[in-house]
Structure 1
């Protein structure tokens, strides 16, 4: 039985994570990434300090995108880390609802939401 999520043509799914990066649309990306349905960009953060404090300027490719996202998944690495409510509110003011989870959960959730046709983006810290 095939359990691969059905996603619209032209969107990319996350195939795997680990070893300091992510396999997205069959391409390995080392380090932190910003993932949108049709593109993946390097996320210009240093993983150890990426969330303390979360630099909204580094999220600008997602927050300023012409296509507005409803959900921004923030993959916080190997464990779930929460950002302050004030930062979540600042993201919400720009459009998407921010959800923090470990990066593995964020990858799986991204794929699921894409399969549901949701407008989702992800900012992911790598897992070694």
Structure 2
């Protein structure tokens, strides 16, 4: 089982307050809505967990309803050649999100390398850390945009107390027995 999952903070499917008049606010969790396509629920250093329960190991390319393994090992392997697939897609994606697993220092190098790719292929390209690329993909996918994410699992995971508590609870449930 993958270590140190970073659960994207989700609120219950629909949250209602005591206020029951015009302008009442509700929250809908996109990952739990049927028909919105594939979304990422969580990620680790090893890969990504989808909203359908599947776990994807290593770098992946995620379309609204399709998954491909991406033949790169880490951020240094992202080149114009590794992105050629996206230049031949028809129709072209509204946005191609590249989620890199390293540090922000690497992003500056990646921006330089891919600047010509963006211009020559006329592709809207967002380069973000994987932790920010995932919610961006999920949101744009839920809006019905033709968005594609090329994601590399992060090298470093920031774990907080909430993550550790959730992990302990999950392990407790593994060893619970029903006496029925």
Higher relative contact order (CA 8 A, sep 6+): 1
Q: Which has the larger radius of gyration?
A: 2
Runs (5+) with no aligned partner, structure 1: none
Runs (5+) with no aligned partner, structure 2: 1-11, 14-27, 156-180
Moved more, 90-99 or 14-23: 90-99
User: Which residue of structure 2 lines up, in the alignment, with residue 113 of structure 1?
Assistant: 140
- 2:48 match: secondary structure: strand
Q: Does 1:88 align with 2:112?
A: no
- Aligned-pair RMSD on alpha carbons? 2.3
Q: Does 1:4 align with 2:51?
A: no
Moved more, 83-92 or 32-41: 83-92
Alpha-carbon separation, structure 2, partners of 1:92 and 1:85: 12
Higher strand share: 1
User: Which residue of structure 2 lines up, in the alignment, with residue 127 of structure 1?
Assistant: 154
Alpha-carbon separation, structure 1, partners of 2:34 and 2:116: 30
Higher helix share: 2
User: Which residue of structure 2 lines up, in the alignment, with residue 36 of structure 1?
Assistant: 63
Alpha-carbon separation, structure 2, partners of 1:120 and 1:12: 11
Aligned residue pairs total 125
Name which of 10, 13, 20 aligns with 2:46: 20
